[in-house]
Amino acid sequence: MPAEVVIERRPPSRDHDRDDRATIAVFATVAASVIAALYYAGRWGFDNPARPVLATLGLSLFITIAPFIAWRLSIRFHYDEPQPWWRSQPALTIAALAITALAGMLVPATGQNIVGILAAIGYGSALAALVIWITQGSQRINFLFVIGSAAFAVWACGVAWSTRYKTPVFWETLEYHADVHHDPLYYVSMANTMRTYGIPSTGLDGVPYTPYHYGSAWLNSQWAYLAGTDVLAFYTLGPSVIVIPLFFAAVLLLAVEVKKGWRLSRAGSDPPLKKDYAAWLFFLAATVGMIPTAGLDAMGIWNLHVLISESYVIGVPVFLLVIATSIAFWRRKRSSLRAGDLAFLLVFAPLMLAVTGFLKVSLMLLLLCAALGVVALGRLLRDRWIALSMVFCLLTSFVTYKFVSVTAQNQGFVPFAYMRYSGVDTAWWPWFVLAHLFWSWVYIYLRVREEKLTSLGAIRHATLEGRITDVVMVAIFAIAGWLPGEVIDIHGGSAIYFSDVQRWVALPLLMASGWRWVAQWRERRRDTNSQGSFVGGLRLADLWLAALVIPISITMILNAIRAPATALRADIALRRGLYAEAGVKGPVGLRSLGDRRLLAAGLHRAPDYSLISALRELDKTPAAVKRRTLLFIPQSYLRFWQTWTEPERCSYVPMIAPATSGLALLDGMPPVDCDLTNQYGMTRYQRRTTPQLPADVMPVTLCAKATAKGFSRVVVLDGSADSHVAVSAIECPVRISADRAEEE
């Protein structure tokens, strides 16, 4: 895009901007509604109150749809083109997110929950958007668009629920053989310690501050207050119903903002978004995938990982909304800055860098790299306010990084670390950069070709002129995102959260530009129509196109079916397992798997039900009491400490307690024979070097340890081999505790 263009005021009827935004609103409404309905259906037969689901759906619609209505109302009364950045839809969406977070904070502070008001605004906005949209264009196309949006939502939540990270029946899965991944328990542990004690910590032995990008855990905690449910239950509800629609709405909104820039700066008649078939083909190809998921995984392209990681799926839409708001700001920028411009440069930009850092540190670093690169290449540091803004951004990023960076993640210099970790065959290494950054390469190639830049000198010239700032930005995200994983061993394959970002920047740019390239292709096709090669009356080019489209289409359909089918099979397997626990023998039909009585009976007999239920009951302790309480589980209680029998998972067992009870542990480190990981905040604690002795579990000893950490109450949870769980509380006398603390 041009760095700065002179724009004449034009009436809104001259373009599809408002229609496109209505289309995004309907897409997000359909996606959120379908996911909420599937979540509710997925809990069929289990404890399944409708209020949390309806409240969460209302919050989702408030965040994604209410900003569209607010933006639409603003242009009715203030049609100045271009709009100020703070009245742009991306900025209003960020504001809506902030409002929900603040509303969640008010619940424990004041006892007032305004979720009913926010949900009513959300439902009303969605209805208004639907009425606005449904009058546009062909009703047949509208119907097909709604069906397509619903199908896409099924695929998206299927991806999120097809692993052990999230599922509508997460609690029940945890109580039945605890067949869940430990990552959710890590996030929820931090969310619960922030809720209970006001400190981000995993809470394995007191609550020492644990550096991490815990912003998403905090945000889920506030939303859980509004939904009226515990954080672990909300963990599978909120990120699916709220964040998945927000994620893809942010992709589409960035595409519309970019498209608006092209529309204002160049002549041309673009199609409305819902009829922009090129845009939707790019969208589906980049999300669902053009080759089998197994093939993508083999090449280290974790196409589904974005919807699994709780912090990434929240961080990316905020990241994209920041970019979209920046585009809105740049479109309006003038030679003389106004108060709103200064607010963007000196407040919004540094603040959003900090926010993205707390949501996902990789996003903050990439956003900073892109900002510095664009400013430097555009020679914008001559502007003293932009230079001052960059100073503020650097300082804010440095301070944020100190708070959230995890030194244990950096495992040292290892060439091609991510390819090694991902198991990419060395024969494919030369192709890795091309495949992994595929969407960026596609956009860069097509834009450079469109600008007719045939040499490096021409590219450099266009860069300095600001003609290909979009290409520069994509290239920076691609290179800066790819390099960390190829020179540093970032634990657990987390380098993907650097290199995958470029896809979500390139995709909306491709969607915004696809219509132009299709129009150019059709024009060239008409010019050469009489010169092509024919076979049996068919153009050879058409045959080649069909040979490419057919296998890609089949693959995308299979990819779209795979994840929801996997999630459904897991749900059915859990229900049949609980039926077996209840004494039901033989095969059970699908229609019979929702028997509430049998599911409850099977759940009560499940191996981990008594333990998890006792921990869950502790979460209902009044907040004032919880703040001064630690939970102690003796090492002799093997039912807890051997929840996961796999030796490599012993490090993560204690996280079950704070994630389910909302209480931090006392002396809760794993057994001495555990091969303890150095990840997940473990370095904040002293590892156990000797077995736990009888004297270590005496009330006096427990009180001494608790008061030394600033607590005055200890809850002891112990059990026996017959699954009986005993819970007792020790009130530590203040005087004795203080004396004991001094002796310590």
Q: How many structural domains are present in the chain?
A: 3
Q: Region 467-487: what's the mean pLDDT?
A: 88
Is 70 exceeded by the pLDDT of residue 343?
yes
Is 60 exceeded by the pLDDT of residue 13?
no
Is 60 exceeded by the pLDDT of residue 616?
yes
Kindly report the backbone phi and psi dihedral angles of residue 147, in degrees, each rounded to the nearest multiple of 5, phi listed first: -60, -45
The whole-angstrom separation of Cα 377 and Cα 632 is 57
Residues 106, 67 share a domain:
yes
Residues 728, 627 share a domain:
yes
How many other C-beta atoms are found inside a 10 Å radius of the C-beta of residue 646? 7
pLDDT at res. 353: 96
Residues 61, 153 share a domain:
yes
Residues 638, 491 share a domain:
no
Residues 401, 389 share a domain:
no
Residues 106, 234 share a domain:
yes
pLDDT at res. 533: 54
Q: By percentage, how much of the chain surpasses pLDDT 70?
A: 90
Single residue among 505, 521, 537 that ends a domain in this structure: 521
Answer whether 669's CB lies under 8 Å from 694's CB. no
Residues 380, 408 share a domain:
no
Instruction: Indicate whether 587 belongs to any domain.
Output: no
Which amino acid is present at 47? D
Instruction: Indicate whether 88 belongs to any domain.
Output: yes
Instruction: Indicate whether 261 belongs to any domain.
Output: yes
Is 50 exceeded by the pLDDT of residue 8?
no
Beta-sheet strands, E only, within 468-550: 488-490, 534-535, 538-539
Answer whether 82's CB lies under 8 Å from 331's CB. yes
pLDDT, one tens digit per residue, over 643-702 is 888 888 899 999 999 999 999 999 999 999 898 888 888 989 999 889 999 999 999 999
The whole-angstrom separation of Cα 684 and Cα 687 is 9
Instruction: Indicate whether 145 belongs to any domain.
Output: yes
How many other C-beta atoms are found inside a 10 Å radius of the C-beta of residue 80? 11
pLDDT at res. 255: 95
pLDDT, one tens digit per residue, over 556-613 is 899 889 999 999 999 999 999 999 998 888 667 777 788 899 999 999 999 889 999 9
Instruction: Indicate whether 591 belongs to any domain.
Output: no
**Token pair for 414:** 């290892």
Residues 154, 107 share a domain:
yes
**Token pair for 40:** 């509710």
Single residue among 521, 538, 561 that ends a domain in this structure: 521
The whole-angstrom separation of Cα 224 and Cα 242 is 12
Instruction: Give the residue numbers spanning the domain of 357.
Output: 333-396
Residues 380, 281 share a domain:
no
HEC profile of 583-650:
CCCCCCCHHHCCCHHHHHHHHHCCCCHHHHHHHHHHCCCCHHHHCCEEEECCCCCHHHHCCCCCHHHH
Residues 111, 236 share a domain:
yes
Instruction: Indicate whether 569 belongs to any domain.
Output: no
Which amino acid is present at 742? E
Instruction: Indicate whether 532 belongs to any domain.
Output: no
Residues 266, 150 share a domain:
yes
In the structure, how many helices (H) and strands (E) does the chain have? 33, 7
Residues 128, 96 share a domain:
yes
pLDDT at res. 653: 93
Please report which confidence band the pLDDT of residue 518 belongs to, taking 50, 70 and 90 as the band edges. Answer: confident
Grouping H, G, I as helix, E, B as strand and the rest as coil, residue 279 is helix
Single residue among 466, 491, 521 that ends a domain in this structure: 521
Q: What is the pTM of this model?
A: 0.91
Instruction: Indicate whether 302 belongs to any domain.
Output: yes
